[in-house]
């Protein structure tokens, strides 16, 4: 293991060094390891000594690679990962053996700068046995889930770059048994999900493309092999000045389809869903005891801003052979349901 500093003053193992030969750099260190035990690498990185016995007994594996860290006077930390790998990782839970998990090889490669409220990367890649992720651009560190739910444009305004991720369900089940809510004696044979978000300027406004796609999921359940059809979701979102619009929305699957477009001033969404087919597919691999959905439905939702802050929302829907069962009790059962509405209200001026 090698630790260095940008001046003649020796750096402490945690890399802190107040002296510097640079106007920007306040401290610098480098961690280089070759097949070192995880517990030793954690010790060099500076955890509390009293925690080392717990780390050694619960985590096993070897680390190989180089990490360079540079701290600037403004508080920013710049990290360079040179194919930093953790191999043969084994994590054991002494209280609950079901929480044990393993990973043959995890790797991080690329650069990342951490500032007060942002993560900046010209290119960062991370991978495990069951997933890969890539980041290029800027994203916020201060954004919370509650803030996103309150106003989705918060996420759009604080994200500028491309993020991609891919998860292999079969490898995920093998590495982290129990993390997927599967029925007993269910083994995933193949299936992946890919998620992407990238900039997509449109009509002179900021825009972003979101895409989610799964390929065919195959699983062995008791004595048979079942398959669940692919699902694809695509959304083109434009935003600016606290306002957001979905210029394109498309969901395609064997059990649900939706097409929509518009912005906060006007737009429409058409939806079609086969509830019985959805329940049937999910029941093949996951436990839905006491829950049953039956029938199909379709509907249309339209909205438009009439004048100044007065908007109109209209919609219609139809359900056929609708049946909903929760906790083993039938709560809804109708051969056909038709509904429509026409609402006019005053726009609050909020997104």
pLDDT at 39: 63
> Whole-angstrom Cα distance, residue 193 to residue 167?
5
Average pLDDT, the chain: 81
pLDDT at 328: 67
- Percent of the chain at pLDDT above 70? 80
> Whole-angstrom Cα distance, residue 326 to residue 336?
20
In the predicted model, is pLDDT for residue 152 greater than 90?
A: no
Model confidence at 51, in pLDDT bands (50, 70, 90)?
very low
In the predicted model, is pLDDT for residue 54 greater than 50?
A: no
More confident position, 90 or 128: 128
Query: Residue 67's CB: how many other CB atoms inside 10 A?
Result: 19
**Overall average pLDDT of the 22-42 stretch:** 76
In the predicted model, is pLDDT for residue 211 greater than 80?
A: yes
Highest mean pLDDT among 9-18, 68-77, 274-283: 68-77
Closest CA to 62 of 79, 39, 43: 39
112 and 119 in contact (C-beta within 8 Å)?
yes
CA 103, 109, 115, 118 dihedral sign is negative
Q: Which range is least confidently modeled, 122-126, 309-313, 347-351?
A: 347-351
User: CA-CA distances (angstroms) from residue 19 to 174, 254, 280?
Assistant: 48, 63, 65
Model confidence at 3, in pLDDT bands (50, 70, 90)?
very low
Tell me the three-class secondary structure of 183-236, residue by residue.
CCCEEEEECEEEEEEEECCECCEEEEEEEEEECCEEEEECCEEEEECCEEEEEE
In the predicted model, is pLDDT for residue 19 greater than 60?
A: no
pLDDT at 222: 82
CA dihedral 155, 156, 161, 164 (to 10 degrees): 60
276 and 293 in contact (C-beta within 8 Å)?
yes
Per-residue pLDDT reduced to its tens digit, 195-210? 999 998 766 678 889 9
Highest mean pLDDT among 92-96, 108-112, 179-183: 108-112
Highest mean pLDDT among 40-49, 66-75, 232-241: 66-75
């Amino acid at each position: 293991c090698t630790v260095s500093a940008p001046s003649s003053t020796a750096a402490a193992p945690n890399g802190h060094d107040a002296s510097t030969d640079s106007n920007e750099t306040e401290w610098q260190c480098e961690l280089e390891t070759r097949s070192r035990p995880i517990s030793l690498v954690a010790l060099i990185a500076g955890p509390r000594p009293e925690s080392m016995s717990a780390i050694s007994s619960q985590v096993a594996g070897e680390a190989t690679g180089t990490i360079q860290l540079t701290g600037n006077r403004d508080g920013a930390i710049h990290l360079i990962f040179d194919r930093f790998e953790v191999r043969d990782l084994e994590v054991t839970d002494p209280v609950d053996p079901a929480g044990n998990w393993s990973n043959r090889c995890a790797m991080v490669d690329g650069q990342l700068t951490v500032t007060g409220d942002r993560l900046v990367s010209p290119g960062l890649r991370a991978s495990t046995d069951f997933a890969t992720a890539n980041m290029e651009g800027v994203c916020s560190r201060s954004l919370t889930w509650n803030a996103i739910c309150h106003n989705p444009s918060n996420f759009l305004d604080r994200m500028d770059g491309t993020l991609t991720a891919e998860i292999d369900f079969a490898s995920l089940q093998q590495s982290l048994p129990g993390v997927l809510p599967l029925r007993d004696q269910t083994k995933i044979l193949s299936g992946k999900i890919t998620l992407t978000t990238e900039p997509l300027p449109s009509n002179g406004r900021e825009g972003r493309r979101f895409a989610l796609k799964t390929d065919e999921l195959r699983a062995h359940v008791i004595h048979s092999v079942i398959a669940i059809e692919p699902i694809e979701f695509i959304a083109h979102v434009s935003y600016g000045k606290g306002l957001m619009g979905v210029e394109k929305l498309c969901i395609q699957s064997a059990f649900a389809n939706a097409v929509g477009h518009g912005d906060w001033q006007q737009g429409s969404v058409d939806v079609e869903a086969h509830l019985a087919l959805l329940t049937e597919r999910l029941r093949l691999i996951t436990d839905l005891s006491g829950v049953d959905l039956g029938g199909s439905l379709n509907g249309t939702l339209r909205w438009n801003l009439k004048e100044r802050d007065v908007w109109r929302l209209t919609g219609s829907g139809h359900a056929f052979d609708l049946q909903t069962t929760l906790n083993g009790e039938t709560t809804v059962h109708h051969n056909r349901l038709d509904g429509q509405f026409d609402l006019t209200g005053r726009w609050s001026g909020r997104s």
